[in-house]
Amino acid sequence: MLQAPAQSTEGSRTPAVSDTMAQPKGTVVLAYSGGLDTSCILVWLKEQGYDVIAYLANIGQKEDFEAARKKALALGAKKVYIEDVSREFVESFIWPAVQANALYEDRYLLGTALARPCIARGLVGIAQQERAAYIAHGATGKGNDQVRFELSCYALCPKIKVVAPWRLPEFYQRFPGRRELMDYAKKHGIPVPVTPQTPWSMDENLMHISYEAGILENPKNQAPPGLYTKTCDPAKSPDTPDVLEIEFERGVPVKVTNTGDGATRSSALELFVYLNDIAGKHGVGRIDIVENRFVGMKSRGIYETPAGTILYHAHLDIEAFTMDREVRKIKQGLSLKFSELVYNGFWHSPECEFLRECIGRSQESVVGTVRLSVFKGHVYILGRESPRSLYNEELVSMNVQGDYEPADATGFININSLRLKEYHRLQSKVTVKQDE
């Protein structure tokens, strides 16, 4: 999937939808997925008097893009833009997250949160190109994505106006459930899925796929068989591991080699896709969590992040091998804040830009190769080497004294014990007084 400029297709101005349109309101660029919700939103926006331009970002999801284009045009879209942003997504969004060891609430690798500002960048670009005053999206009024999309859009184009149907009473009161959407679709000639819908919602991109809502809203319900699509069941995965060597420069993976068959990948996109395949084959990258949404509620999400999981462990290892201890402590704090900002939708904020610069600076010495095994749902680190390593084998050896005087440790321990002795001396006095 090579990145290509956005391709547009102009549609007919006489679509087979309702003839009762409101007064013209101008042009809106809709973040379109081709699914039922955004298809209904497209027609609804036309009813409200908007000229609709559909924008569909190819961010690595499994999608029939040509079918989506034809569908949008048939529903009355003035134009349809389909833009392949997969390579940009990897290089400009996933790689900074890998450098940061980004992890929200200790477990979530931020697959959806990283994709939203990437999509928003394309959405705003088309709006500016078409001189559209509005953008629209299909994110719900309870989730994080509405915040992520809109904060990015406002940052990139402060004068843009946002139409968020799921926050408008005239929309969500008209469509309180999926049945009403289906009825609307049938009335307006919007194709509805022939196969039964899965009883949960999914969102996919190159980095991950998420599952939530429906039967998953009860947090005690186990993920049903057949839910996972990017990874196989670890119990049924191959009985032979794949051993990989991943090379890093400035904290970014630049080459992966499979020591078993000699396969190599070095371009960013191909490398990431390859790791997705290997990790998926071995059932790596599944998590089932309850997380805290930015809007204030807890939600249950199930995620598959195959390549991201391999790279998280590999980068963590090479960073610990090459980075100074005190620098790493500070960087860990920066990473925690970075993860929170990305999750909450502040990718384009000045503080997040500052953090990316700081984290990038910390990665200058993160160079080397990590050897690891991918097997039965796990990533096992086997070894590492680096020309920038701070590891001194002679210094740390139990068999060689090296440039270290063991007797010096006595003073080191005495100095560090002083604070502890004083603290417990005071505690003893307090205890004695309480007993009197």
Our answer to whether residue 106 is catalytic in this structure is: no
Distance CA 332, CA 344 (A): 19
| Residue 266 phi, psi dihedral angles, 5° rounding | -130, -25
* DSSP states along 242-259: EEEEEEEETTEEEEEEET
Tokens encoding 216: 């998953």
User: How many CB atoms sit inside 10 A of residue 367's CB?
Assistant: 20
Pick the closest to residue 334 from 99, 128, 126 (CA basis).
99
Q: How far is CA 391 from the centre of its chain?
A: 33
Q: Of 18, 92, 201, 267, which is the active-site residue? A: 201
Q: Of 39, 84, 86, 116, which is the active-site residue? A: 116
Q: Which amino acid is at 169?
A: P
Pick the closest to residue 229 from 139, 305, 291 (CA basis).
305
Distance CA 15, CA 3 (A): 31
User: Is residue 209 classed as helix, strand or coil in its secondary structure?
Assistant: strand
Our answer to whether residue 148 is catalytic in this structure is: no
Q: Of 51, 145, 242, 317, which is the active-site residue? A: 145
Our answer to whether residue 145 is catalytic in this structure is: yes
Query: 386 with 321: CB under 8 angstroms?
Result: yes
Residues 6+ apart with CB under 8 A from 262: none
Q: Of 33, 37, 356, 365, which is the active-site residue? A: 37
Distance CA 397, CA 410 (A): 19
Helices 65-74, 36-47: crossing angle, 10 deg rounding? 30
Our answer to whether residue 201 is catalytic in this structure is: yes
User: Is residue 291 classed as helix, strand or coil in its secondary structure?
Assistant: strand
Q: Which residues are catalytic?
A: 37, 116, 145, 201
